[in-house]
């Protein structure tokens, strides 16, 4: 598989590009992603993501959110047959997105017909970046990202990673913080971090950032509750050095983590 841009192949050759729509607003769709989508003959992905980017000239292959490997296989079959395929994720396709599913499908395959497909992953704007920018700069020093969904990994592993993040004094960003099936896990995660963080540690809850119904809350670790978030939210818990600034009349508070760590930590 070559590392060059998919549009550098011959016009008649099939290719597969994994692209991200960004967190919401079309302003966060990168020029590369827009160009790939324009050149694609087929758009494959979860229905709401496909709807953001599909045009009249595309053949659309939309599916439910739970069929990532099957979706990747369908896209690879199309590309192997000569189609120019854009597989769509939200945000950045390499962060909890379809890029990993495509590589996983290739690795799992019991045949070799996908081996010659030219696969390109285009970087995008992630929800982490969008929420952090709206809040100020809470990821200005070392941070980690953890999905609180235990659909693909055990909760015991998530607990171990939360404890390690707390001990290491990372700012922590949570994907998939809460759902109807998992209403308790964000509160459990916050409880683990409370063993390592001061009660005043900033907690940022960004919901639907980049969309008309966006909402951003900066709370503190003592008072933050799981019900304040939903599956459209991304939650960031600050490090010990993260602080909230009140900059002036009419300005909303901003949270940031200084780049320099205290010498006496």
pLDDT in tens, 55-114: 999 999 998 877 899 999 999 999 999 999 999 999 999 999 999 999 999 999 999 999
pLDDT in tens, 182-206: 889 999 999 999 999 999 999 999 9
State the average pLDDT for the chain: 92
Higher pLDDT: 219 or 249? It is 219
Please give the domain boundaries of the chain with CATH numbers for all domains.
Answer: 6-125 (3.40.1010.10), 128-256 (3.30.950.10)
CA distance 74 to 90: 19
Instruction: Name which of 10, 9, 255 is nearest 135 in CA terms.
Output: 255
In the predicted structure, residue 265 carries a pLDDT above the cut 70: no
Give the global pTM.
0.91
Kindly provide the residue ranges of all beta strands, DSSP E only, lying in 8-83, ordered along the sequence.
Answer: 15-20, 42-46, 59-63
In the predicted structure, residue 133 carries a pLDDT above the cut 60: yes
In the predicted structure, residue 251 carries a pLDDT above the cut 90: no
Say how far residue 165 (Cα) sits from the centre of its chain.
19
Q: What pLDDT, on a 0 to 100 scale, did the predictor assign at position 250?
A: 79
Kindly state the DSSP code that residue 6 receives in the 8-state scheme: G
Say how far residue 13 (Cα) sits from the centre of its chain.
30
Q: Which residues pair with 205 in a beta bridge?
A: 217, 235
Q: What are phi and psi of 245, to 5 degrees?
A: -105, 140
In the predicted structure, residue 149 carries a pLDDT above the cut 60: yes
Alpha helices (H) in 147-235, listed in sequence order: 155-167, 185-194
Q: What pLDDT, on a 0 to 100 scale, did the predictor assign at position 5?
A: 60
Calculate mean pLDDT across residues 233-243. 97
How deeply is 263 buried, as exposed, middle or buried, from its count of CB atoms within 10 A (0-12, 13-18, 19+)? Answer: exposed
| Residue 1 pLDDT class (50, 70, 90 cuts) | very low
pLDDT in tens, 13-51: 799 999 999 998 888 999 999 999 999 999 999 999 999
């Amino acid at each position: 598989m070559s590392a060059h841009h998919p549009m550098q192949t011959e016009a008649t050759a099939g290719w597969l590009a994994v692209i991200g729509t960004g967190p919401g607003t079309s302003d966060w769709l990168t020029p590369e992603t827009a160009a790939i989508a324009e050149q694609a003959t087929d758009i494959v992905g979860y229905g709401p993501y496909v709807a953001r980017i599909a045009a009249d000239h595309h053949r659309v292959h939309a599916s439910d959110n739970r069929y990532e490997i099957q979706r990747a296989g369908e896209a690879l079959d199309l590309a192997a047959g000569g189609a120019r395929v854009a597989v769509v994720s939200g945000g950045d396709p390499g962060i909890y997105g379809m890029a990993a599913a495509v590589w996983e499908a290739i690795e799992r395959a019991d045949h070799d017909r996908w081996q010659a497909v030219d696969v390109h992953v285009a970087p995008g704007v992630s929800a982490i970046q969008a929420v952090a920018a709206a809040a100020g700069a809470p990821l200005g020093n070392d941070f980690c990202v953890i999905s609180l969904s235990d659909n693909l990994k055990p909760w015991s592993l998530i607990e171990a990673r939360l404890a390690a993040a707390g001990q290491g004094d990372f700012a922590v960003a949570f994907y998939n913080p809460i759902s109807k099936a998992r209403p308790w896990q964000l509160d459990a995660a916050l409880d683990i971090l409370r063993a390592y963080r001061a009660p005043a540690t900033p907690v940022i809850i960004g919901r639907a950032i980049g969309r008309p119904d966006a909402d951003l809350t900066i709370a503190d670790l003592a008072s933050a509750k799981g019900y304040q978030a939903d599956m459209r939210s991304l939650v960031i818990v600050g490090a010990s050095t993260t602080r909230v600034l009140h900059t002036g009349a009419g300005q909303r508070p901003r949270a940031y983590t200084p780049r320099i760590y205290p010498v006496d930590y």
